[in-house]
């Protein structure tokens, strides 16, 4: 009986640790720095999640690839509005973007998901199943989709 409590405590601590790492991970930035979602100013007020967006910005930070269910090339993008979004580019479907360099301009087209840290843009690639609009990333004159 006592061993069940120990196992339960270890599981709860493990889950708490991973939730903390996800929320305060290497890409997380103070939520007070995000003013609006990644859209033109006229559209910014009504957005939350699940919409297709196109945005230009400066590449702020190149992050380690995510190797969970999908393999994602990750980076943060600082928009003209001052907002920052995390871009997760699925490299199982699209080609890897070579030589990403902070400070350079990147244009993205994908699905926006709001969160307290500014949001995430995913689906920046073609959709083999045809369920959503094809996304892409433009970098140094090349389109990656």
Q: Which CATH number goes with the domain that contains 135?
A: 2.40.50.200
Give the strand pairing for 84-90 and 71-79.
antiparallel
The structural domain count of the chain equals: 1
Residue 94 belongs to what domain range? 30-144
End-to-end CA, the chain: 54
12 found inside a domain: no
In tens digits, the chain (145 residues) has pLDDT values of 666 666 555 556 555 554 444 444 444 433 333 334 444 444 444 456 788 888 899 999 999 888 777 788 999 999 888 888 999 998 888 889 999 999 999 999 998 888 877 889 988 888 777 777 788 999 999 999 8
Report the SS3 class of residue 139. Answer: strand
- Distance CA(39)–CA(28), nearest Å, equals 20
25 found inside a domain: no
């Amino acid at each position: 009986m006592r061993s069940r409590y120990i196992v339960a405590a270890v599981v709860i601590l493990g889950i708490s640790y991973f939730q903390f790492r996800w929320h305060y991970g290497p890409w997380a930035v103070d939520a007070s720095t995000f003013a609006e979602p990644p859209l033109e100013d006229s559209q910014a007020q009504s957005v939350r999640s699940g919409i297709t967006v196109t945005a230009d910005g400066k590449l702020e930070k190149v992050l380690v690839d995510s190797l969970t269910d999908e393999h994602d090339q990750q980076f943060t993008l600082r928009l003209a509005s001052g907002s920052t979004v995390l871009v997760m580019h699925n490299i199982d479907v699209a080609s890897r973007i070579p030589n990403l360099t902070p400070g350079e301009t990147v244009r993205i087209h994908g699905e926006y998901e709001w969160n307290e840290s500014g949001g995430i843009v995913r689906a920046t690639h073609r959709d083999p199943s045809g369920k959503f609009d094809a996304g892409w990333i433009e970098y140094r004159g090349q389109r990656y989709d």
